[in-house]
Structure 1
Amino acid sequence: MIQTPTHSSLELWPVGNCQVTGLIDETGGLVWGCVPRVDGDPVFCALLNGERQHEGVWRIELEGFARSTQQYQRNTAVLKTRLEAEDGSAIEIIDFAPRFRRSGRMYRPVAFVRIVRPVAGTPRITVNCTPMKNYGEAVAETTNGTNHVRYLVGQQALRMTTDAPVGYVLEKRTFRLESDLHFFLGPDEPFGGNVGRETETMLELTDHYWRHWVRGLATPMEWQEAVIRAAITLKICQHEETGAIVAALTTSIPEAPGSERNWDYRYCWIRDAYYTVQALNRLGALDVLEKYLAYLRNIVDNAKGGAVQPLYSVMGEPELTESFAQHLAGYRGMGPVRKGNAAFSQVQHDAYGQIVLPTVQAFFDQRLYRLAGEADFDSLEQVGEMAWKMHDQPDAGLWEFRTRQEVHTYSVLMSWAACGRIATVAERLGLIDKCEFWRDRAAKIRARIEEDAWHEEGQHYASALGGSHLDASLLQMIDLGFLKPEDERFQKTFAAIEKGLRRGEHMLRYDAEDDFGLPETAFNICTFWLMEALHLAGRETEARALFETMLSHRTRSGLLSEDLDFNNGELWGNFPQTYSLVGIINCATLLSRPWSFIR
């Protein structure tokens, strides 16, 4: 068998430390990894490198390769890959990004660690580490010393420190693996200490960090393994330096084959991040919320009371000019490969509600190191003013239409939620006049939705005020508290959405043509919203069965991408998608039997 895959697949295993992330393929190849951050240059880009799978990759190749198996160390982001050869020889590769407390702070370098162990027979291996620069333009030049190799990737360099024979690594020579080998690929600076002892210690401490973090999660009784894996992955989607949470770790995985719906998701969408912290809050993962609130405060400060963009870079940079990476062929050769995202310049008014909703918790949650007060309320009101000002104005909507604008019902709902939650905070602070002021605004927005979003002929709420189309986001009326599950209008809307958007066990986002025609794949978070609605409608057995079906579509790493072909079940879209992982957590929490079930 050939160890290098003939084409790219989403059977990928993320490793990361909240500073840098990498994706490992089925045979242990590091095929996607950006430096110095998730939105940086993909020095490991084989995932999008078409037929050039031997470049932009870090692979430990086993001579006579026959099969591979993979698993995470329990409750961690540490991956073990076992490669077996036809003659019975075998090796184990341990992949992780170091993360642990050291010298009073969190140690999370821009570094990948690989430990290779012989476990059976007389294995012979080849180390192919071929990072590239400038989005696949060229292979990185190298220099070396006695125990390291420097890779010149653009304006910076990466240094691999190793106890493997450096000459074999440079020349990609095959050699017998007779003892454990250790590789630390990180900053271009001397590596202190013995690389073998130090990386083994890093492995032990990183393993302990993740196990300790998982111990603090309030998981549901059922589906714990799925929830824990989703939670760990959401955690590594946060850029801890600033608190930003990216929508996915990749760019330009098509939403459907050959569709050119190829977008760069390595940025912080205010909307996606809101759903992420909401899901992790349900598990008690307060650390992610605290970091994200700090990021939001900086976004609000920089907006100075003006418009807030739908997305920013992980460093808070507003300018995300979209361009094409000309040297990368794309996933399975399906270009284009985009860097940047033009949605940063779009108008999406739901962002104001999605700033307010997570921020409100800071006024109530006594566990937080920093409780919000009246000064924070003043900033919150600035966001509320924009929500009120823009609630009846057209925008691109949460699905980011590029060629048309409407007054999207979901955006108006989020403005209603913003005003209502600000009123709740004002009441908490004893600001009675402010409370009445914001409640009055929320009431006026509610009346507008009830009057103009209701499509009388179709007997359902519509995707836009005065419109007639369906939209799965209307199911969020319950989660936001706008309607109760038994409300007659909601029941009719749910029935219409099921009839118009459901495709077997999956759900479309909307039923109208967009900039690229009719949708070809189901949007996974919408399928999870369907499960929530089924549960609230009393169709519990159906909701649980649908949830089990969605879990069966996960990769072997336990994760989901953005989209799914509702005909053959293949995953498409950027990976791993935070929206989809949020769906796993929310539905498991909602549908699980209580812990008291164990007697």
Structure 2
Amino acid sequence: MYSNIEDYALIGDCETAALVNRNGSIDWLCWPAFDSDACFTALLGTKDHGRWQITPDAPITACKRRYRGDSLILETTLETDGGAITLIDFMPPRGAASDVVRIVRGDRGTVTVRMELIIRFGFGAAIPWVKRDKDGGVLAICGPDMTVLHTPVETHGENLTTVAKFEVKQGDNIPFVLTYGPSHLKVPAPINVYEALKDTEEFWKEWSSRCTYKGEHRDLVMRSLITLKALIYAPSGGIVAAPTTSLPEKLGGSRNWDYRFCWLRDATLTLLVLMNSGYTDEARAWHRWLLRAVAGAPAEMQIMYGIMGQRRLLEWEADWLPGYGGALPVRVGNAAHAQLQLDVYGELIDAFHQTRVAKLELDGDTWAVECAILEHLASVWNKPDHGIWELRGPGKHYVLSKVGCWVAFDRAIKSAETFNLKGPVDKWKELRKEIHRDVCEKGFDPRENTFVESYGSDVLDGAILLLPALGFLPADDPRVKGTIAAVEKYLIRDGFVLRHDPRGVTGEAQPAEGAFLACSLWLAEAYIKMGEIAKAEELFNRVVAIANDVGLLAEEYDSGVKRQTGNFPQALTHIALIAVAHNLASAKRPQEKKVERAK
């Protein structure tokens, strides 16, 4: 049996993250970093592939969980007939080592609790050597990896599992700390659990206090911002798309990808929501990561990079894992990093332009890098590519890809003219005009009065919703209105927006995957620009209503079975949610800040 994706909550230390099941089991953790091998992989397999469960020995009659204030400290209250306990789970911001702290607090009566720690390095494939260390901790070593468990509870080994059973009375607080370290170094020293709890709470309290958003749905916006912060790899400033791999886009299907990397495509909107929410330090760090990642020959620019800017993200399959709910294969790495996706050029140049407009300090080499990239783009913009959705197979002339090229030259022109930067502006203007004409002639279907997925296609995709947001055409243009109407006709299922047109994917009106939540939010953005605030709010409320009990959203939603699908939690979904909340608030109260691209 496997749990629903929405049964999980997130904890993290701004270098990696763990997923905690509502039943008290940590079923996913890559250590020491987001892109490391997992040591708890039950999410994609069984408990024998690694998990850490602390739960009542008696049947659970009720479960309630929450985050402590505006923090990433998770509190899960588990009720039994005999009493109740609360698990307090958190990862202190990274110090000398990385720690997962779990405190079992007695709330009512007396509860017998059992603990099972199953460590399996290498995505569940490698069983460690376990022994006691000199301080009484439980030490597990396998190759380069080492963990040590410290707790006052007596533990013992049983079937390659570290287990314990103990009683918790009202008022008790029983700590467990699992710490990671490289196996060639000394065993990390134990931490003071309660000082770590206090420090972690103060860290998140201070960070959250910097949020400048005051509009409606502030709790949801704050939770999304905290989730985004948790997905930022602090040493580099890179933002992973999600902390997981291979959670399926369609339950039981094969569209399972590794999202533990940093996509250029998310650059502009990420910068905007951070800057407009008061988080300029994170915005600067993301900009600097972007600049370092793309440094080099423009022809070698990738669509995604590793958390430190690594370029080789080789894809392979962990064939010993049965997959989430049987969805195979389980993929590690992402072969799409080598694809040509032309829209990312627009996102990159747009990100740099937005940073200038916001008056954030830029590296002195930024403009030179942009000019070199634009020189390369001038020679490749008219080539087929693999598009925003990274479809594998022959390339096409995707509409959004061409619009992304238009954005690149458009924002470069505006940066040059606004900030007195030197460049071949006349050439860029000609290219901007040529691309715009090309898209309007070849990417628009006059019979249906809509832009389409790709040149010559008669189907749509959710990405065309971005045309007004990117400034390609105004929202009141008849072609944009026709496109929105076509999306409403062909891409909406049960009130949510699909990213792929079912007519083109399966040959019949059946979706190939769940609704893509960012696309639903992009439609809400389009409604706002068209002045249809009530429709935007209705769609926004529909999306936030499917967030789980602690405010987290995955990549997609299967309305047929009412389940979240895809990697979780998904940065792009939460980024789009923040943007729509800002812009709805601004539409209702103009003094609120907009999250809008400067054009």
Q: Is the structural similarity TM-score above 0.5?
A: yes
2:173 counterpart of 1:180? yes
In structure 1, the residue matched to 2:100 is 112
Show CA shifts across 1:567-596 (max 9, x none).
342111111111211221121112233387
Per-residue CA deviations over 1:340-368 (Å, capped at 9, x if unaligned) read 111112111111112112122343434x4
2:427 aligned with 1:431, yes or no? no
1:165 counterpart letter in structure 2: E
Secondary structure, counterpart of 1:113 in structure 2: strand
Q: Secondary structure at the match of 2:220?
A: helix
1:478 lines up with 2:468 in the alignment = yes
Say yes or no: does 1:355 pair with 2:348: yes
Which position in structure 2 is the counterpart of 1:456? 446
Q: Which residue of 2 aligns with 1:531?
A: 524
1:396-424, Cα deviation, whole Å (9 max, x unpaired): 00011111211111111111111111112
Find the aligned partners of 1:293 and 1:44 in 2 and give their Cα distance: 32
SS at match of 1:326: coil
Mapped to 2, the partners of 1:283 and 1:7 lie a distance apart of: 34
8 A Cα contact 1:562 1:577, kept in partner: yes
CA distance in 2 between counterparts of 1:583 and 1:206 reads: 27
| Closer, same or farther: CA 472–520 of 1 in aligned 2, 3 Å | same
Corresponding letter in the other structure for 1:425: S
Root-mean-square deviation (Å): 2.3
Distance across 1 between alignment mates of 2:370 and 2:308: 21
Provide the C-alpha distance between the structure 1 equivalents of 2:368 and 2:423, rounded to a whole number of angstroms: 14
Identify if the C-alpha distance between structure 1 residues 182 and 433 changes in structure 2 by more than 3 Å, giving closer, same or farther.
Answer: closer
Q: Select which of 322, 325, 336 maps to 1:332.
A: 325
Match of 1:250 in 2: 244
Q: What is the SS of the residue equivalent to 2:86? A: strand
Give aligned-pair identity as a percent: 30
Letter in 1 for 2:308: M
**1:389 is aligned to 2:382:** no
- 1:25 to 2:16 alignment: no
Which residue identity does 1:333 align to in structure 2? G
What does residue 95 of structure 1 align with? 89
Given residue 479 of structure 1, which amino acid in structure 2 is its aligned partner? Answer: A
**Aligned mate of 1:151, from 140, 158, 166:** 140
Summarize deviations over 1:521-556 as a string: whole Å, max 9, x none: 211111111112222333322221222121111111
Residue 282 (structure 1) aligned with residue 272 (structure 2): no
Conserved? CA contact 1:238–1:244, under 8 Å = yes
Separation of aligned partners in 1, 2:456 and 2:369: 33
1:259 aligns with 2:253: yes
- CA distance 1:477–1:109, shift in 2 (3 Å): farther
Partner of 1:237 in structure 2? 231
Structure 2 residue corresponding to 1:587, chosen from 559, 563, 580? 580
Amino acid at match of 1:151: A
Where does residue 408 of structure 2 map in the other structure? Answer: 418
Give the TM-score normalised by the residue count of structure 2: 0.91
Distance 1:595 1:207 in 2: 34
What is aligned with 1:10?
6
Q: Is the 8 A contact 1:246 1:273 kept in 2?
A: no
Q: Distance in 2 between matches of 1:466 and 1:55?
A: 47
Amino acid at match of 1:144: R
Q: CA deviation at 1:439?
A: 3.0
Q: Secondary structure at the match of 1:10?
A: helix
Structure 2 counterpart SS, 1:135: helix
Structure 2: how far apart are the matches of 1:40 and 1:504? 38
Out of 436, 439, 453, the position equivalent to 1:446 is 436
Q: Which amino acid aligns with 2:343?
A: D
Among candidates 144, 150, 154, match of residue 161 of structure 1: 150
* Residues 457 and 412 (structure 1), Cα distance of their counterparts in 2 relative to 1, 3 Å cut: same
Could you tell me which residue of structure 2 aligns to residue 222 of structure 1? Answer: 216
User: Which AA in structure 2 matches 1:275?
Assistant: L
| SS across alignment from 2:471 | coil
Q: Is the 8 A contact 2:262 2:305 kept in 1?
A: yes
Taking the TM superposition and a 5 Å limit, the aligned residue runs for 1:301-320 are 301=295, 303-320=296-313
SS of 1:122 mapped into structure 2? strand
**2:44 alignment partner, one of 44, 48, 62:** 48
1:123 is aligned to: 111
Q: Specify the alignment match of 2:124 in structure 1.
A: 136
CA contact (8 A) 2:409 2:428 kept: yes
Counterpart AA for 1:401: L
User: Is the aligned partner of 1:78 residue 2:49?
Assistant: no
> Structure 1 residues 192, 254: CA separation in 2 closer, same or farther (over 3 Å shift)?
closer
**Hey, what does 1:296 align to over in structure 2?**
290
How far residue 251 of structure 1 moved from its aligned partner, in angstroms, is 0.9
* Closer, same or farther: CA 317–171 of 1 in aligned 2, 3 Å: closer
1:55 positional shift: 4.8
- Per-residue deviation at 1:203? 1.1
* Deviation at residue 25 of structure 1 after TM alignment: 0.6
CA contact (8 A) 1:19 1:239 kept: yes
Amino acid at match of 1:472: G
Displacement after TM superposition at 1:78 (Å): 0.7
Contact 1:65–1:83 (CA under 8 A) maintained in structure 2: no
Structure 2: gaps spanning 5 or more residues: 593-599
Q: CA deviation at 1:192?
A: 4.3
- For residues 64-97 of structure 1, what are the alpha-carbon distances to aligned partners after superposition, in whole Å with 9 as ceiling and x for unaligned? 1423211000100111111222212x22211111
Structure 1 residues 533, 428: CA separation in 2 closer, same or farther (over 3 Å shift)? closer
**Separation in structure 1 between the aligned mates of residue 322 and residue 173 of structure 2, nearest angstrom:** 36
Distance in structure 2 (CA, Å) of the matches to 1:39 and 1:345? 18
Distance 2:5 2:369 in 1: 45
Give, as a single letter, the amino acid of the residue that structure 2 aligns with 1:40. Answer: S
CA gap of 1:108–1:16, structure 2 versus 1, over 3 A, is farther
Which amino acid is 2:552 matched to? L
Specify the SS of the correspondent of 1:117. strand
Distance 1:221 1:108 in 2: 39
Q: What SS class does the counterpart of residue 139 from structure 1 fall into?
A: coil
Q: Which range is displaced more, 249-258 or 280-289?
A: 280-289
After TM superposition, give the deviation of residue 307 of structure 1 in Å.
Answer: 2.9
Q: Deviations over 1:20-46 (max 9, x none)?
A: 100101122111100121111110111
Residue pair 1:325, 1:336 contacting (<8 A) in 2 also: yes
Q: Give the match's secondary structure for 1:332.
A: helix
Q: Within 1, Cα distance between the matches of 2:536 and 2:356?
A: 34
In the TM superposition, what are the counterparts of 1:371-386 in structure 2 within 5 Å? 371-373=362-364, 375-386=365-376
Rounded Cα–Cα distance in structure 2 between residues aligned with 1:433 and 1:353: 17
Deviation of residue 260 (structure 1)?
A: 1.0
1:177-209 C-alpha deviation (Å, 9 max, x unpaired): 35422222223444546x4xx221111111111
Paired residue secondary structure (2:299): coil
CA distance in 1, matches of 2:500, 2:270: 22
Contact 1:245 1:273 in 2 (8 A): no
Of 540-549 and 481-490, deviating more is 540-549
- C-alpha spacing 1:594/1:527, structure 2 compared with 1 (3 Å): same
- Give the conservation status (yes or no) of the 8 Å contact 1:220–1:595: no
Q: Structure 2 CA distance, aligned partners of 1:58 and 1:430?
A: 57
Matching residue of 2:597: none
Please point out which of 55, 61, 65 is paired with 2:55.
61
For 1:264 and 1:171, the matched residues in 2 are separated by: 30
Q: CA deviation at 1:337?
A: 1.0
What is the Cα deviation at residue 265 of structure 1? 1.0
